[in-house]
Amino acid sequence: MIRFILNNKLIETFDKSGITLLDFIRDKNQLKGTKIGCREGDCGACTILVGTLKNDTVNYKSITSCISPLGNANGKHIVTVEGINLEKELNVAQQVMADNFATQCGFCTPGFVVSMTGFALQNKENSNTCTDAISGNICRCTGYKSIEKAVNVLEKKLLTIDETDQVAVLIKEEFLPNYFKTIPERLKQLTFAPWLNVSGGNFVANGTDLYVRHADVLSQQNVNLVGDVASLKGITITDTICKIGASVTVTEILKNEDLIEVFPKLKDFLKLVSSEQIRNMGTIGGNFVNASPIGDMSIFFLALNSTLHIIKESERQIPYQEFYKDYKKYDLREGELIAAISFEIPDTNTKFNFEKVSKRTHLDIASVNSACKITLENELITAASFSVGGVAAVPKFLSKTNAFLKGKKLSAENIKEAEKVLQTEITPISDVRGTNIYKRLLARQLFFAHFVELYPDRIELGELI
Ligand SMILES: Cc1cc2nc3c(=O)[nH]c(=O)nc-3n(C[C@H](O)[C@H](O)[C@H](O)COP(=O)(O)OP(=O)(O)OC[C@H]3O[C@@H](n4cnc5c(N)ncnc54)[C@H](O)[C@@H]3O)c2cc1C
Ligand code: FES
Ligand code: FES
């Protein structure tokens, strides 16, 4: 049985765990405020909040319910736009939208209002802006200016409130209805099975790849959910090694203070990945096994010379660079699960960078993306590790280019020579994201960009092009 709280109501259901939360909410519970737009995680019309109990507080995040399996709601608080209504008046998010004429046909409005409420519920320490929080919401009518005004007003209101007890304050300030204060205690009382383990069938982490392609089939099934399995979560960092569980989401990485210390520009890098809602769901294990040649997290971790930890009865470890064999073919045997990825913490001589070019800055997959890790000692490159996506059948680790650079002086001349080697390693094809010629050009530009970004005092763009 799946048990959770939907708005203010306890849900106990034997429905298939693979049905989408969107269909469960709209069809089984007649809550029609959550809209159906694209059913692909792209438009944000179906945005809901998911609250997870941690210690005594509930952490809320926004997700797109159209590509989320019902089973992942187990033990949580699911909030739809109806669940943030106050008894009589509009709540603050609804009121600022109305005051700023930020709604026309109104179809997108519930999604925006829920995302804005999700933002209000986040801790202020998080450097997100409310504009980031609505990055996964699309409006076809307003042209966004009025929505921008509305979120700015909301943000200003939030700056003035004390956040010692965020939920209590948000209730007092009319962002949230009263019943929210009862949720932590009610979730504590809820008994539920954390992993709906069904023999056979594929693993589903948080579904952002699988449900775009197979929602119809998965909706008919009880699915093997691994997104909440405790042993696949968690980020641990020792002096030399970092290990990240396969079910850790992009948002969890982006907000991890220890990782930000290791990669000071982590937030800038990862804000280029999808949208707030999708980052809140998408796991690294899902990104690796989806095996898209342009998977952002794949490219990121390839350049770190990472090790994959794979489990079944026992654990085996392989270099991540050896995981991909051909287009969507990889070294994972029947029933095996990726448990984690680990990598050496870059030392003080080592720098890391990530670059991505896509048609839209946000909520778009890359045309070409690239990451690199370079160790420089006494002007010599003692180790180089570059990866590039969108230019081969697999996320590409540039072994020849890396070997070429090793032991070379850091100079414009050597970088230009290395780029020639890079071009021999890639085999881009023309598709909707660009022609093969364009992608070769992008691979070159991103390769150069890494050096200019990491060593601005030594390498100038003008010397390279
Ligand atoms: C609107 C939208 C925008 C997106 N934008 C981007 C983007 O900018 N960049 C990007 O890289 N991706 C993007 N994606 C793709 C997707 O969000 C990521 O690939 C995400 O990381 C997948 O994780 P998941 O948990 O949702 O995977 P799922 O869909 O649950 O699973 C994907 C695959 O991985 C397998 N799997 C999951 N976990 C494990 C495990 N532990 N062991 C073995 N197999 C496992 C599943 O069986 C499945 O085959 C986008 C998706 C959407 C819908
Ligand atoms: S319906 Fe468009 S994101 Fe869900
Ligand atoms: S108001 Fe019509 S889509 Fe946004």
238 and 323 assigned to the same domain: yes
Q: Determine contact, residues 387/299, Cβ cutoff 8 Å.
A: yes
Which residue's alpha carbon is nearest to atom 47 within ligand 1? 203
Q: What pLDDT, on the 0 to 100 scale, is given for residue 164? A: 75
Tell me the one-letter amino acid at 260.
Answer: I
How many of the other CB atoms lie within 10 Å of CB of 463? 15
- Give me the residues paired with residue 326 across strands: 329
373 and 302 assigned to the same domain: yes
* pLDDT tens per residue, range 173-191: 999 999 999 999 999 999 8
179 and 324 assigned to the same domain: no
Atom of ligand 3 lying closest to residue 104 CA: 1
153 and 256 assigned to the same domain: no
Which range is most confident: 119-128, 194-203, 295-304? 295-304
The verdict on residue 204 lying in a domain is no
Q: How many domains, the chain?
A: 2
* pLDDT tens per residue, range 54-77: 989 999 999 999 999 999 999 999
The span from the CA of 36 to the CA of 216, in Å, is 15
26 and 123 assigned to the same domain: yes
Ligand nearest to the CA of 278: 1
Least confident of 124-128, 143-147, 306-310, 396-400: 124-128
| Total H helices, total E strands in the chain | 18, 18
Q: What pLDDT, on the 0 to 100 scale, is given for residue 192? A: 77
- Confidence band, pLDDT 50/70/90 cuts, at residue 195: low
Atom of ligand 3 lying closest to residue 112 CA: 4
315 and 460 assigned to the same domain: yes
The verdict on residue 203 lying in a domain is no
Q: What pLDDT, on the 0 to 100 scale, is given for residue 364? A: 76
As a whole number, mean pLDDT of residues 237-245 equals 95
For residue 347, CA distances in Å to 120, 174, 351, 387 come to 38, 49, 8, 19
* pLDDT tens per residue, range 337-363: 999 999 999 999 999 999 999 887 777
As a whole number, mean pLDDT of residues 364-381 equals 94
Q: What pLDDT, on the 0 to 100 scale, is given for residue 197? A: 60
CA of 26 to the centre of ligand 3 (A): 20
Domain housing 265: 230-464
β-strands 350-357, 368-377: how paired? antiparallel
CA of 147 to the centre of ligand 3 (A): 10
Q: Residue for token digits 């990485």?
A: 253
- Contacts of residue 145, defined as CB under 8 A and 6 or more positions apart, other chains included, come to none
Question: Which CATH number goes with the domain that contains 410?
Answer: 3.30.465.10
The span from the CA of 378 to the CA of 315, in Å, is 40
176 and 306 assigned to the same domain: no
Q: Determine contact, residues 434/367, Cβ cutoff 8 Å.
A: yes
The verdict on residue 179 lying in a domain is yes
> Which candidate, 377, 378, 389, 454, places its Cα nearest to that of 415?
454
Structure tokens at 260: 């930000």
Question: Which CATH number goes with the domain that contains 166?
Answer: 3.10.20.30
The verdict on residue 342 lying in a domain is yes
How many of the other CB atoms lie within 10 Å of CB of 16? 17
- H or E segment and range at residue 4: strand 2-6
Query: 47 CB less than 6 Å from ligand 1?
Result: no
Q: What pLDDT, on the 0 to 100 scale, is given for residue 202? A: 76
The verdict on residue 54 lying in a domain is yes
138 and 271 assigned to the same domain: no
The verdict on residue 378 lying in a domain is yes
In this predicted structure, the answer to whether residue 230 has a pLDDT above a threshold of 60 is yes
Tell me the one-letter amino acid at 465.
Answer: I
The span from the CA of 292 to the CA of 300, in Å, is 13
- Contacts of residue 22, defined as CB under 8 A and 6 or more positions apart, other chains included, come to 34, 36, 39, 46, 65, 66, 68
The verdict on residue 452 lying in a domain is yes
The verdict on residue 218 lying in a domain is no
* pLDDT tens per residue, range 401-443: 999 999 999 999 999 999 999 999 999 999 988 999 999 999 9
Atom of ligand 3 lying closest to residue 140 CA: 3
| 450 three-state secondary structure | helix
For residue 4, CA distances in Å to 19, 67, 76, 105 come to 15, 18, 5, 32
- Confidence band, pLDDT 50/70/90 cuts, at residue 169: very high
As a whole number, mean pLDDT of residues 36-40 equals 97
343 and 430 assigned to the same domain: yes
- Confidence band, pLDDT 50/70/90 cuts, at residue 454: very high
Identify the DSSP state of 20: B
Atom of ligand 1 lying closest to residue 296 CA: 11
Q: What pLDDT, on the 0 to 100 scale, is given for residue 194? A: 64
Query: 310 CB less than 6 Å from ligand 1?
Result: no
Query: 281 CB less than 6 Å from ligand 1?
Result: yes
In this predicted structure, the answer to whether residue 314 has a pLDDT above a threshold of 70 is yes
CA of 92 to the centre of ligand 3 (A): 19
Among candidate residues 157, 188, 219, the one where a domain is terminated: 188
Structure tokens at 387: 């990866």
Identify the DSSP state of 432: T
- Confidence band, pLDDT 50/70/90 cuts, at residue 366: confident
Q: What pLDDT, on the 0 to 100 scale, is given for residue 263? A: 97
The span from the CA of 414 to the CA of 28, in Å, is 63
Percent of the chain with pLDDT over 70: 97
Per the prediction, the chain carries an average pLDDT of: 94
175 and 307 assigned to the same domain: no
- Confidence band, pLDDT 50/70/90 cuts, at residue 196: low
User: What is the model's pTM?
Assistant: 0.96
Ligand 2 is surrounded, with C-beta below 6 A, by 36-39, 41-46, 64, 66
Q: What pLDDT, on the 0 to 100 scale, is given for residue 190? A: 92
309 and 415 assigned to the same domain: yes
Q: State the alpha helices, DSSP H only, in 379-432.
A: 399-405, 412-425
122 and 267 assigned to the same domain: no
Among candidate residues 137, 166, 188, the one where a domain is terminated: 188
How many of the other CB atoms lie within 10 Å of CB of 52? 14
Ligand nearest to the CA of 101: 3
First to last CA, the chain: 62
Among candidate residues 170, 188, 206, the one where a domain is terminated: 188
CA of 47 to the centre of ligand 2 (A): 7
> Which candidate, 235, 233, 211, places its Cα nearest to that of 223?
211
* pLDDT tens per residue, range 117-128: 999 998 665 667
> How remote is the C-alpha of 107 from its chain's centroid?
25
Tell me the one-letter amino acid at 311.
Answer: I
